[in-house]
Amino acid sequence: MEIVVVEDEAGIADFLAKGLEAEGFTVKVAADGIAGERLALSPGADLVVLDRMLPGRDGIEVLAAIRRSKPALPVILLTAKAEVADRVEGLDLGATDYVTKPFAFDELLARIRARLRQSGEGAGTLLEAADIRLDLLSREASRGDLMVRLPDRESQLLAFLMRNASRICSREEILAAVWGYEHDPGTNVVQVYVGYLRRKLSLPGSPAPIQTVRSVGYRLSERA
């Protein structure tokens, strides 16, 4: 399970990363809101620990962006004790939970476990779009009678296209979300991976529903 920690205080971020890694989680840390938003929206993230006060982009804005594209992703907001109004604002915006600073690691860990359990029980791990289903935990994609287990990166790419189904995803945003590239390195890696997915998800007489939109990007849609 991957946890994204968005925290600008290096001491706290380090303490959280070490503690969570010791509990067996994969941890990715961002020190500002912009990098944090990108990590939170990457397909691998299972839960986000989000500080309220951040440079670059405020925690509340990051939370709003997460809710727009990933309504089911658990987010635990870290707020200073005095920010009671912010706490309410955070919950209104869809933080799954909040923890007030200063906090005990064990308390945060208990909240994280509880939230992951809930999202695992819900539909949060199963994506459906067009005629494809993808289980994010097992990385099994199915389409009609076909069932295929995808390598991690292909699963992340498919999840991104499914979460953004019916709109055109640009090559640049796919590179950023799935490969973490800030700048287009001029590779054809997206094209290559889309090719893998098309091969694995095509049925006799029914090509995989991933369309190339010339010189723009890709779109997952049943419409030909």
Q: Please state the closest distance from residue 63 (CB atom) to Ca ion, in A.
A: 14
x/- mask, Ca ion, residues 91-130, rule CB under 5 A, reads: ----------------------------------------
Nearest residue (CB) to Ca ion, 49 versus 129: 49
C-alpha span between 166 and 97 (Å, rounded): 31
Nearer to Ca ion, 51 or 154 (CB): 51
Q: Report, in Å, the least distance between residue 55 CB and Ca ion.
A: 8
User: CB of residue 136 vs Ca ion: minimum separation in angstroms?
Assistant: 30
Q: Is 8 in the site for Ca ion (CB under 5 A)?
A: yes
Minimum gap (Å) between residue 34 Cβ and Ca ion: 14
- How many angstroms separate the CA atoms of 185 and 208, rounded? 27
Q: In b/e form, how buried is each residue of 55-68, taking b as 16+ CB within 10 angstroms?
A: ebbebbebbebbee
Tally Cβ neighbours within 10 Å of residue 79. Answer: 23
Output 66 or 190, the one with its CB closest to Ca ion: 66
Segment 27 to 66, residues that bind Ca ion, using CB under 5 A: 51, 53
Q: What is the CA radius of gyration of the chain?
A: 18
**Identity of the residue, 12 or 64, whose beta carbon is nearer to Ca ion in the bound complex:** 12
The DSSP bridge pattern shows strands 2-6 and 26-30 to be: parallel
CB 35 to Ca ion: min, Å: 14
Q: Which is nearer to Ca ion, 1 or 34 (CB)?
A: 34
**In terms of DSSP H, where are the helices of the chain?**
10-22, 33-41, 59-69, 84-92, 105-121, 152-163, 171-174, 189-201
**Tally of CB atoms within 10 A around 28:** 19
The residues binding Ca ion (CB under 5 A) are 8, 51, 53
